[in-house]
Structure 1
Amino acid sequence: MDGTTATADDFLDRALLEEATKKSGLIWVRAQGAAESRPLWHAWYDGAVVVVGDGGEQPLHGLTAGAGAEVTVRSKDKWGRLVAWPARVVALEPRSEAWQGAVEELKGKRLNAPDTDAITDRWARECRVLRLEPVGALSERPGAMPDASHAAAPMPSPATTRQPIPAHLPKLVFGRLRRKG
């Protein structure tokens, strides 16, 4: 969090941001200019979120170095929105010291990797490792949440369209209940 004067609230906000992000298995990231957020698995390393993506890993839609993003973290126990914060996207150069440290953290979080022994080499060749650095004040936090639900409308699909229940279904269900009872 940048700024010249830090208050006790700034330190508490930073502590909330770090703890919530470290404990959450997923974060929701909306790239600057994007319409919707995307879930990403991540690790916390050296004061920022690090993610690996593209090239066979999770897609990093719209996240580009030098741009901004909005990161939303959910509560681990209640699964509701807990905190949101603006971030600056920084690309880490493969094999650099910062990249190596970030990759070591990410390797521990990567589940079911097809190539555990060679994952570092594959990430260096095919993937991007990005650092999402917190900048500015929290945009959402307990006590300062927006009124909107932020729920996304489901995509149209015949699987989500409600149809009338078959006429014989209640007889089947209630008949079985009567026979058991």
Structure 2
Amino acid sequence: MERTTTPAEDFLDRALLEEAAKKSGLLWVRPEGVPNGRALWHAWHDGAVVVVGDGGEQPLHGLAAGGRAEVTVRSKDKGGRLTGWLADVTELAPRSEAWQGAVEELKSKRLNAPDTDTIGDRWARECRVLRLEPAGALTERPGAMPDGSHAAVPMPTGATTRRPIPAGLPKLLLGRRKG
């Protein structure tokens, strides 16, 4: 059931969305039809979130132009979910005016880049720059959060926690004390 909002609520929701996206270093993105989301670093540019990925950057599994994605932004100070929305995904054409603006914003957010001076050229050759534009009202906001945890089930692994050491091991390692 979609909630009805007043123009003032729409304005405040949009301000919350924009401010949260600008301040948070990470957001969670779950493409439509994909069971789990993933954390992505991003930038806010021209009314939307922009991300760069694939090639030598973060993987953008499942995000495709013309698709939709569920975006969740965490609070910068507490780290918990702050807001969420549905986004329309578009791919920006390399070296277009929109791409250039997005890349300038993304370059300022990219930490420890191996090729800071030529990163735009590498992104144009190897990567995709996607724009995630909010579509509709917020799906999560303070006072209207879902009840579930949204935690993903850990992947199966053969790794285990440490087991107790065998009772005789200390005697073997330290030897018998001669008295």
Task: State the TM-score bracket (shorter-chain normalisation).
Answer: 0.7 to 0.9
Aligned equivalent of 2:107? 107
For 2:77, give the aligned amino acid: D
| Cα distance between partner residues in 1 of 2:123 and 2:129 | 8
Q: 1:178 maps to what in 2?
A: none
User: Counterparts of 1:87-98 in structure 2 under 5 Å?
Assistant: 87-98=87-98
> Which residue of structure 1 aligns with residue 70 of structure 2?
70
Aligned-pair distance for 1:152? 1.5
State the Cα deviation string for residues 87-132 of structure 1 (Å, max 9, x = none).
Answer: 0001101111100000000000111111111111111111110000
1:145 aligned partner: 145
For residues 53-88 of structure 1, the C-alpha deviation after alignment (integer angstroms, 9 at most, x for no partner) is 111111111111111000000111111111010000
Q: In structure 2, what is the Cα distance between the partners aligned to 1:63 and 1:111?
A: 22
Counterpart of 2:67 in structure 1: which amino acid? A
Q: CA offset at residue 165 of structure 1?
A: 3.3
- The alignment partner of 2:27 has SS state of strand
Percent identity among equivalent residues? Answer: 75
3-state SS in 2 of match to 1:152: coil
Kindly report which structure 2 residues correspond to 1:17-28, keeping only aligned pairs within 5 A, or say none. 17-28=17-28
The one-letter code sitting in structure 2 at the alignment partner of 1:165 is: P
TM-score by length of 2: 0.86
Q: Residue type of the partner of 1:49?
A: V
Residue 58 (structure 2) pairs with residue 58 (structure 1):
yes
Write the distance in 2 (CA, Å) between the matches of 1:153 and 1:126.
32
C-alpha distance in 2 between matches for 1:6 and 1:148: 27
The aligned counterpart of 1:118 is 118
Find the structure with the greater CA-based Rg: 2
SS in 2 for 1:121: helix
RMSD (CA atoms): 1.7
Distance 2:23 2:164 in 1: 42
Tell me by how many angstroms 1:167 deviates.
Answer: 6.6
1:91 partner amino acid: E
Task: For 1:167 and 1:74, locate their aligned partners in 2 and report how far apart those are by CA, in whole Å.
Answer: 45
Question: What runs of 5+ residues in structure 2 fail to find an aligned partner?
Answer: 168-179
Partners in 2 of 1:101 and 1:122 — Cα distance? Answer: 16
Corresponding residue pairs, total? 164
- 1:165 aligns with 164
Runs of 4+ that moved beyond 4 A: none
> After the TM superposition, which of the residue ranges 10-19 and 146-155 deviates more from structure 2?
146-155
Q: CA deviation at 1:156?
A: 2.3
- Give the C-alpha shift of residue 6 in structure 1: 5.9
Instruction: Give the aligned residue type for 1:147.
Output: D
The corresponding residue for 2:174 is none
Distance 1:128 1:8 in 2: 36
| C-alpha separation in 1, matches of 2:76 and 2:106 | 19
Structure 2 residue aligned with 1:38: 38
